[in-house]
Amino acid sequence: MSATNITYLPLDQCFNVSAQCPIENTIYGYYPSVGANCFFVAFFFMAAVMQLYGGIRYKTWTYLIAMFLACVDQGLGYIGRVMLHQNPYSSVGFQIQICCLILGPAFNSAAIYLVLKHITLCFGPEYSRIPPRWYTWIFIAGDLLSLVIQAIGGGIAATSEDDNARQELGDHLMMAGIALQVVTLSFFGIAALAYILARRRAHNVPLSTEARKYLNSTLFKCFAVGFTLAFTAIFIRCVYRIVEMAGGWGNPIMQSQTPFIVLDGCMVTFATLMQTIFHPGWCFPRLSSAYIPPPSRSSSSGRPAQSELSTLEKDKNARDSAEEA
């Protein structure tokens, strides 16, 4: 029988690659690279162990939860892609990777959002247009909403089989969730930049003892650069995902493996690397639940100035009411 006489089976009737179920007819149209995906699996699970150690050692509990979930989620997602290398028609492998790899970076974003509150409390909450305690609630709420939308979309897409309308609905929901994540990231970036500019304009106002300590710390400077790079990498990944899904399932961008590895896998890997190497436990211990801000030496008596005592008291109250460690 010639190739032109082969009748291709619908997707829901294909369980392995064969003459009637060619690799080109899968959603991705290729065998996922086993080497690249095994590397990602190993990296993310190793990063999860490091995050577990850092979180417990330095008591950065909420940061630990966000990053541990991010790492485990990504590791599981790439296990799903290894399964797709073995069998590109594996429904279990597809469901695991579509859900986990879509959701994972939202936890990376959440870990980034946790930082800004403590930076404003350290360098002066009065220069922030948003009350510091609101940063966590506003941006984490946006992140969680995008996470829920993406999870619903991923669940629908993963179980749609050959139902094109259902696949399209899942695709649109995932795109909407990722778009919301991009919007949340954008507003976060604007809020962070606005605070930095406002604080720089007040350069004549003396810094607190704590702020001077961090500003002169090489580790804190590396932490700030690392988290800026992590933010940028997650943002690039989210934009890529929107473009990838905009053409529907099986579009040329989705069926191109190299852009996925570079703009999704490598971007999230790089962000996770920055968030692990420059862990707040050793770079910005203010995120620790056990952290106590140092007293100011600015008054003539050597005791904390009254204004700073007020700031420290407000800081303590904020940490007690919205501790995100």
Q: What is the pTM of this model?
A: 0.86
Instruction: Determine the pLDDT at residue 298.
Output: 46
> Per the domain annotation, does 279 fall within a domain?
yes
User: CA 71, CA 107: separation in Å to the nearest integer?
Assistant: 9
| pLDDT, tens digit (0-9, with 9 covering 90-100), for 115-161 | 999 999 999 999 999 998 898 889 989 998 998 998 898 888 877 76
pLDDT band at 4 (very low <50, low <70, confident <90, very high): low
> Per the domain annotation, does 19 fall within a domain?
no
> Per the domain annotation, does 136 fall within a domain?
yes
> Per the domain annotation, does 84 fall within a domain?
no
Report CA-CA distances (Å) from 33 to 11, 71, 76, 242: 22, 20, 16, 22
| pLDDT, tens digit (0-9, with 9 covering 90-100), for 42-74 | 999 999 999 999 999 999 999 999 999 999 999
Instruction: Determine the pLDDT at residue 281.
Output: 94
Q: Select, from the ranges 65-79, 102-116, 133-147, 196-210, the one with the highest average predicted confidence (pLDDT).
A: 65-79
User: CA 148, CA 131: separation in Å to the nearest integer?
Assistant: 26
> Per the domain annotation, does 58 fall within a domain?
no
Q: How many domains does the chain have?
A: 1
DSSP 52: H
> Per the domain annotation, does 42 fall within a domain?
no
> Per the domain annotation, does 66 fall within a domain?
no
- In angstroms, how far is CA 24 from the centroid of its own chain? 32
Mean pLDDT for all residues in the chain: 87
Phi, psi for 18 (deg, rounded to 5): -155, 180
Instruction: Determine the pLDDT at residue 304.
Output: 46
The tokens for 34 are 């086993």
Instruction: Determine the pLDDT at residue 316.
Output: 53
Q: Is the Cβ–Cβ distance between 100 and 87 less than 8 Å?
A: no
Instruction: Determine the pLDDT at residue 248.
Output: 81
Instruction: Determine the pLDDT at residue 246.
Output: 85
> Per the domain annotation, does 165 fall within a domain?
yes
Residue with the larger pLDDT of the pair 132 and 268 = 268
Mean pLDDT of 263-271: 98
Instruction: Determine the pLDDT at residue 85.
Output: 95
Instruction: Determine the pLDDT at residue 58.
Output: 95
Domain holding 113, by residue range, is: 106-284
Question: Minimal CA–CA distance to 223: which of 140, 63, 115?
Answer: 115
Whether 323 shows a pLDDT value over 80: the answer reads: no
Return the residue matching tokens 């995050």.
51
